[in-house]
Chain A
């Protein structure tokens, strides 16, 4: 079954804790993205990666970190420096062969205990 998988579906973070959200794809797409969604705010770009071992900050990168060691995987770490982490996090890939269209995973909802 092809596509984008995100895990876990729900994640709880304690004060001062770092947590990592997983994003895996088997679409063979080079570019991957992380977005944060808050009610009434649309989606905002956190980080993106256009190729393995390379990534760039998006519009709201503070308090987040990423890695891109494999084409299939683009994990996002929410660090303790992110003071308001409660949100819905969406991972996407971009298909160069289909007019640069972005496709989205099912999302992870992060809640603070």
Chain B
């Protein structure tokens, strides 16, 4: 069985401030981990993924995430927030033969001018 917990359903930052979105997971097999972003009334866009290569993963739009096995975490960061980063962010874990994705409940990021 696998599960994802995203701490904080809503995070608010000022433009130019650090963005930190938290994700903890549980998985009975070595996981693949993903972060997706969703803008209103749109589908999900892949930001980045961890698939057992480098533990620090760089994605699009200046985002990165670090896989920490000992903490079962995969937190998403960006050094400087931009207004265009305002969206909902989902962390997901995949594992097993059918590669089903299990999602967290999402974190809504608000960026204040």
Give A residues with C-beta under 8 Å from B. 4, 6, 31, 33, 40-45, 48, 50, 56, 58, 88, 90, 92, 94, 99-107, 109
Contact = CB atoms under 8 A, between A and B. Distances in A.
A101 B42 contact: no
6 pairs of A and B residues whose beta carbons are closest in the complex: A99-B51, A104-B43, A42-B103, A104-B44, A42-B105, A43-B103
Given A90-B43, A90-B44, A107-B42, A102 B105 contact: no
B9 interface: yes
B17 interface: no
B100 interface: yes
Contacts of A105: 43
A101 B90 contact: no
A43 B90 contact: yes
B98 interface: yes
B49 interface: yes
Contacts, number: 59
Contacts of B101: 33, 43, 45, 92, 102
27 contacts: A4-B43, A33-B100, A40-B9, A40-B105, A41-B105, A42-B106, A43-B103, A44-B103, A45-B100, A48-B100, A50-B98, A88-B41, A92-B101, A99-B32, A100-B99, A101-B49, A102-B34, A102-B94, A102-B99, A104-B43, A104-B44, A104-B45, A106-B42, A106-B43, A107-B41, A107-B43, A109-B41
A25 B32 CA distance: 24
A21 to B, nearest CB: 13
B100 A58 contact: yes
A94 B42 contact: no
B47 to A, nearest CB: 11
A56 B100 CA distance: 11
B56 interface: no
B90 A42 contact: yes
Given A40-B106, A105-B43, 8 more contacts: A31-B99, A42-B103, A42-B105, A48-B100, A102-B99, A104-B44, A104-B45, A107-B42
